[in-house]
Amino acid sequence: MSISPVSEIPSTQRLIELTGACFSANSRSDTVSRLCNSNTGDYWQSSASCPHIVTITLPQLSSIDTVWMYGNSSDASYQPCDLRVQLKGNSGTELLSKTFSITQSTGWFGLEMDHRPMNVQKVVFSITRNHRGGCDTRVRLISISKLSGGNIIFSPQKVRSRLQLDVLSLLPSPLRPTNPGLLSFKDIPTDVNVVCEDVMYPAHMFILASRWKNLEKLFDEETMVVDLSSFPSSHVCQLLWYTYSGKAKKIFGLFKAGFASSETVAFGGKISIPEVVMEIAEIACEVGCQGLQSICDSIIASKILATPECVTGKLIKSLQERKSAVLEDALFSILEDDKEMAKKYLPYLSKDLIRRFVQSSIAGHAASGPFTLSSLLPIASGGSTQTVTIGSLLYHVLPRAPALGDRVCIKRDVKEPEFGMQEATHEMVGVIVDEEKETNSVFIRFGPDIPRWKGLISEIHVVWGGSSEDDEWSREEDAVCYDIQV
């Protein structure tokens, strides 16, 4: 359908001042600057074959609402018929490209863009065909209106490829516009779009930035878009509802329906969680909406606490990958009540969780009476204070015999091992590579310089929190050190 002109540009349009813009063309560039004056009797005329191209570099980045071109029917075969408008960012990236057909009439032709925020630096016109089969083209005037401010109508008739939904309807009543047909952004202008599936939500950067800690990673500065296209629009809508209102009533309604349905996923191998809970948790994690993430994690945690027998190494790994304090608390509660389970799954635990076991044990000793180093560790006192690392404490909190492949170190109270120090030190952490059962001894690799250190099993202890592939965990790096009165 061809576009018909209007006699004047509507007064509601906020026009960009083009006197500071740079105009160029693929022919007769010396006269192309005439396009920004106010004389409708003047014009720029090409002298090249199609397409006839005019490029306008704006004085500053702007969001474009409509590009206006003045035509005169008296130009006959010189008047453009078909043209394409491209919007480009400051790096030359194409942000939008639209084609138009205009009637042979006199007046201003409004070439509407997508009514979405974009940081546009260049506007490029490509005239591909004239009326009556003409060769050279003639353009009278060009004006450009910007998107920010004013009254903007969002309706399906004005949208081409995406349905735009008004996120302002999610705002609390005092901030919500009262006119359902004309949404006023004069007081609260939207400046970013959240895109998901086939829906685009205009939103407010200052609100998203205050609630989504990962916003910077998802935000495209040139297109002014937050890309959540991998998530369903129904879940993004719930995320925005929570972001704007801080209320989770609707989300809890979704979760309740999820528990009533049979659509579940196996979390960590054995725990069945409603699919909608995991999906909402995933999107909350993606944007860094910690409040919503905690709500989802609380539901997962309650399910785990109700079925502690389903805890496996795979589940523990899945829980820790989420880096959630709520889930870590639930896991710690289960393992603290079942020390045998804690021993079994220690290789799967993070350093932070291991430290909690040590701190809990120390707190338990302190509560039961005067806490001294000798009450927890069989180390002779050598002064008023002794520094003990978590690796040393943990061996006595959750002890088990060293085995092949374990990462170990020499006990600090072993001053002279049965077979000597062999250039090893108490600070070194090595891996058990072989054993000699008849003498209750093992062979330990303390790096390339000490590939086969021999010692009794009773002279070493396991260093928790690392594997044979992880050489970063050493006694000096056991993080928290305790200075304890002896």
Query: Position 76: which residue type?
Result: A
Q: Quick check: helix, strand or coil at residue 77?
A: helix
Domains and CATH numbers, the chain: 14-148 (2.60.120.260), 149-349 (3.30.710.10), 373-485 (2.30.30.140)
**Which band of pLDDT confidence, cut at 50, 70 and 90, is reported for residue 475?**
very low
Q: Which of 425, 413, 428, 407 is nearest to 459 (CA)?
A: 413
Would you state the pLDDT for residue 485?
Answer: 33
Of residues 367 and 112, more confidence is placed in: 112
Would you state the pLDDT for residue 397?
Answer: 52
Of residues 159 and 288, more confidence is placed in: 288
CA max distance for the chain:
109
Residue 470 has pLDDT above 60, yes or no: no
Would you state the pLDDT for residue 162?
Answer: 35
Whether the Cβ atoms of residue 198 and residue 235 lie closer than 8 Å to each other: no
Would you state the pLDDT for residue 188?
Answer: 58
Would you state the pLDDT for residue 192?
Answer: 81
What confidence tens digit (pLDDT) does each residue in 301-354 have? 888 888 787 777 777 877 777 777 788 888 888 877 777 777 677 667 776 777
How far apart CA 152 and CA 45 sit, in angstroms, is: 34
Would you state the pLDDT for residue 189?
Answer: 63
Please name the helix (run of DSSP H) or strand (run of DSSP E) that holds residue 187, with its range, or none.
none
What confidence tens digit (pLDDT) does each residue in 396-424 have? 555 567 888 888 888 878 889 999 998 89
What single string gives the DSSP state of each residue in 346-405? Answer: GGG--HHHHHHHHHHHHHHHHHHS---HHHHS-----SSEEEEEHHHHHHHHS-----TT
